[in-house]
Structures are given as structure tokens and as C-alpha cells.
Amino acid sequence: MSVALGTTRPLPVRTTPVGDPGDLLASLPRTAPYAWIRNGEGLVGWGEAARVAVPPGPGRFAWAREWLATVLGDAQVHDDVRTPGSGAVAFGSFTFDEDAHGSVLVVPRAVLARRDGQAWLTTVGDTPLETFTPVRDPGRISYGDGSLTAPEWQGVVARAARRIREGELEKVVLARDLVATTERPIDVRLLLSRLAARYPECYTFSVAGLVGATPELLIRRTGQEIESLVLAGTTARGTGAADDLARGAALFASAKDRHEHECAIASVRQTLSPLCSALTTPDEPELLVLPNVQHLASHVTGRLADGASVLDVVAAMHPTAAVGGTPTKTAIQVIRELEGMDRAGYAGPVGWIDANGDGEWGIALRSGQVQGRRARLFAGGGIMGDSDPAAELAEAQAKFRVMQYALEG
């Protein structure tokens, strides 16, 4: 059964303006840190005023919204800021596969936030002071195969590409995992600070042990306005400026990568159009250059027609073609048959929602599941009919480097 803590009586919630807190991540205690940070702005939280394990199944997002309505709707709120992200906020992580266990929502006891020149602190209930302990390095790190070895995974890619060429589907996204074991327990705060510093344009997140820095914004809802950043098509960074430019130009000209991107945009357009009174998608993608890779990227904007919450939009969008494939139902079945592992929260929605239904949710890419001295790292890529297994393995290895850097520094 799902368990909610602290919900036997209405939650007392108070939000007050504060001075600039500086580095938000530096304020986090070691216990149960929650985070959603981009370019130094966002929200961090700690403690648990309420927590629930969301039951798996096709209705899980609706179930989560009802739970939030009960917990946050009855809250006794004193909010002196009144902006998206103030008042009671829940952080959440949903598994990639709707049938998998592991989705969770948490209302922290304290949330410190900075956004658009404002900073505030929200407390829920009688929030005791947390003891701050110094951030500790994990020490020596060793890596081992996850669910499949590299050659085994290349074989999976080859089988998937063959099924695409045979006409079963257009695209499937395949992931693999890598296990890191450390000398000392992993301090999530260290990973967060390294990720936020190295990848400021990404969304650095932490929810219930799922930690990462994703470049992909699934959806942002601010009132009736929504935004999404679609990424599909990837190449590694070059060895120098000229090589970098050449790789970016080749990615932009690649028929395989452009088709993969067009599949992703068509999926988002088809999903969001019924929810929106207006929707804008670009005719051409842009090149998003990150420290380790380059992506084809498209910024989508729209206006909701019926006041749906951000979780309603997440429910409609997930899984996108960018992390599942095309057509989606067929791709999910192929993933279940071939991938050989449980993705857990990898490539699932991760983010936050407030009592008004505003929030930001990304796709949990470039991430790892951390517990004690063990971190299970994830990476993947879109497979097309002409995909080369060795090239796809190299792309996944490049994506692993994000979390390897977070661990190693």
C-alpha cells in the first residue's frame, strides 16, 4: 500500500520572502536532499512532510494528482510570495515504464527557492533545524557492467535496427546501465554541486535517490502557458574548435538524425494539440551545444485550453518519441523485449508541482540511482534502421561521462 506521512491533519504551510541565499545547493543538509536547479535558479528541499509511493498502471498520473489535491488542497497556507513554486510544493519522479514500481511524490518540510529576482523559504509544519555536515568525497570508484555487457548491448541494437528495417517500427530508444561502487557512501550534494557547475544549462535534479542533469525539459506550466524543449539527434563534442563545428554541421545535415528529430516533434505536436488553444513548433531545429555532446533541439510553446495541471500534461506527453520511439506503443513493447533491464526512473518524468498545478518536469536523462556506496548510471540513444551498433555504444559511453564526472570530479 502507498503510505503518506503527515497527512492526518491539514498541513500548515508558510512561505516568506528571504534575501538572496547565494548557492542554493550549499544550503542542503545531507539527509534526503531534493533539487531542481538551472543556471543557479530553482528549488531545493529537505525533510518529508508527506510522501507517497504512486501505484503503477495507466492511471498513475491521475492518481498522483488526486493525492496531491487531497494533501495540498487542505493545507493551511500563508503565502507572502504568491508565485509559481511558492506555497506547498511536491517533488516527484515517475518510472519510465507505467507498469514498474518506484514512482514517488514527496512534499518536503522545507523548500528554499530563487526565481526571477525573488527568493523565498517555505516551511511545512514545525520544521526542525537540520544539522549541516561537510560534503564528503566518495573516495575510490570502480565500475562494472550493468544488466548487459557492451557486446551484448551492441547485439540488442543490431536486432532493433533489423526490426526497424523490416518495417515493424520507425525508431526505438534503447538504454543501458553501468554500476559504480565507491569507497565511502555517496553524498548526493557533491554530485549536485558538480553537475550544476559543469552543466548550468541543464536541469540538475535530485528526487528520492535519482540524481542527474537533464538537458530535456518535458514541460513547464506557468498559468495557462506551457513550454517544452525537444531533443533528438546527438553527436559527441569535437577535439577542437574546427572539429566541433564540423561535427555540429554533420549532425544538422544527417538524414538519420533529422528524421529522428522529426519523429520526436511530430509526437509532441500530436500529444499537445488536443490540450492547447495555441501551439507553436519551429520549422527547423537548433543546435544545442553542451560540454559533452551536441543535440538537435526544438523549443515548443503553447497555451492550455482547459486549465490542465502540469501533471495532466506530463501524463499526455510521456513517453515521448525522444525517449521511447515511434510508434510509441510498438517501441515500448520492443524495449520490454530487447533492452534486458528495468529502467526505473531513467527517462521517466522528474520535477516539481505546486498547489496551483504549475511546475517544471524534465526527462530523467544523464542520471543515476544512488543508494549508499552504489550508483546505477544510465544512458541511451535513438535507434534507426541504419544505426551502427558501435556508434550507438560510443554515444552511450559519451552520455555516461556526465555522471562519471559527478562521481569523480
pLDDT of residue 267: 84
pLDDT of residue 6: 41
pLDDT of residue 1: 31
Rounded-to-integer distance, Cα 381 and Cα 399, Å: 9
pLDDT of residue 3: 41
pLDDT averages per 10-residue partition of the chain, 409 residues:
49 94 90 91 95 96 95 90 96 97 96 95 80 88 96 97 96 96 96 96 96 94 94 87 92 90 87 92 90 90 90 93 89 95 96 96 96 96 93 92 95
pLDDT of residue 331: 96
Backbone angles phi, psi at 401, to 5 degrees: -65, -25
Q: Are 47 and 127 in contact (CB under 8 A)?
A: yes
Rounded-to-integer distance, Cα 35 and Cα 211, Å: 9
pLDDT tens-digit map of 378-407: 999 999 999 999 999 998 998 999 999 999
Rounded-to-integer distance, Cα 354 and Cα 108, Å: 12
The candidate with the shortest Cα–Cα distance to 199, out of 348, 408, 402, 59, is: 402
pLDDT of residue 125: 86
Rounded-to-integer distance, Cα 389 and Cα 395, Å: 10
Q: Which residues are catalytic?
A: 171, 216
Q: What is the pTM of this model?
A: 0.91
Backbone angles phi, psi at 194, to 5 degrees: -65, -45
Backbone angles phi, psi at 396, to 5 degrees: -65, -40
Helix, coil or strand: residue 331: helix
pLDDT of residue 2: 39
pLDDT of residue 127: 65
Helix, coil or strand: residue 134: coil
Helix, strand, coil share of the chain (percent; to 5): 30, 35, 35
Q: Give the cell for residue 161.
A: 535496427
pLDDT of residue 260: 85
pLDDT of residue 48: 92
Rounded-to-integer distance, Cα 135 and Cα 94, Å: 28
Show the beta-strand stretches assigned E in 224-317: 225-236, 276-280, 286-289, 293-304
Rounded-to-integer distance, Cα 10 and Cα 21, Å: 29
